[in-house]
Amino acid sequence: MGEIVSRTFDRPVEQVTLLAMSEPVQLDADKLEELYEQLGDSAAEDVVCRAMEELAVRLAQAERLYRAGKVPDMRKCVRSLGAIATQVGMSALTRVARDVVACIDSCDANALAAVHQRLLRTGESSLTEIWELQDMSI
């Protein structure tokens, strides 16, 4: 990377802070265990797999809608994404989805831009985590 120069003072920046772009994942193990107890292993695994697929689709759809400026449609998509995340115990993803909806409802475009990116990171991390958790149970 090249040297970062301040446009205001025309001198090199002395300190640059890099922000971590990862999100901690929070899976509600009790929720998953309850799902497996209620449905049995095979049916619960089917539900979790379908939920993962649907979450991946909705994350991509939310991104497309955001880029297209279709915020009302994005709100609907993210609300349903949050509901699915709740069903399979993805508490961090549920919380961030609610935050996206709150940003939309408050018409805060700057906050929405930031929280939308957080939604994508949290969604990706959550899907990876639950995928790895399923691999361990097989």
Q: Quick check: is 18 in a domain?
A: no
Q: How confident is the model at residue 129 (pLDDT cuts 50, 70, 90)?
A: confident
Query: Does the predicted model carry a pTM greater than 0.85?
Result: no
Q: How many domains does the chain have?
A: 1
**Number of C-alpha atoms within 13 angstroms, CB side, residue 103?**
22
Q: How far apart are the first and last CA of the chain?
A: 44
Q: Quick check: is 10 in a domain?
A: no
What's the pLDDT at 68? Answer: 97
Q: How confident is the model at residue 13 (pLDDT cuts 50, 70, 90)?
A: low
Q: Name the residue range of residue 116's domain.
A: 29-137
Cβ pair 117, 110 in contact under 8 A: no
For the segment 48-73, the average pLDDT, to the nearest whole number, is: 96
Stretch among 9-18, 21-30, 51-60, 83-92 having the lowest mean pLDDT: 9-18
Alpha-helix residue ranges (DSSP H) falling in the chain: 29-39, 41-68, 71-87, 91-105, 109-137
Q: Quick check: is 60 in a domain?
A: yes
Cβ pair 90, 56 in contact under 8 A: no
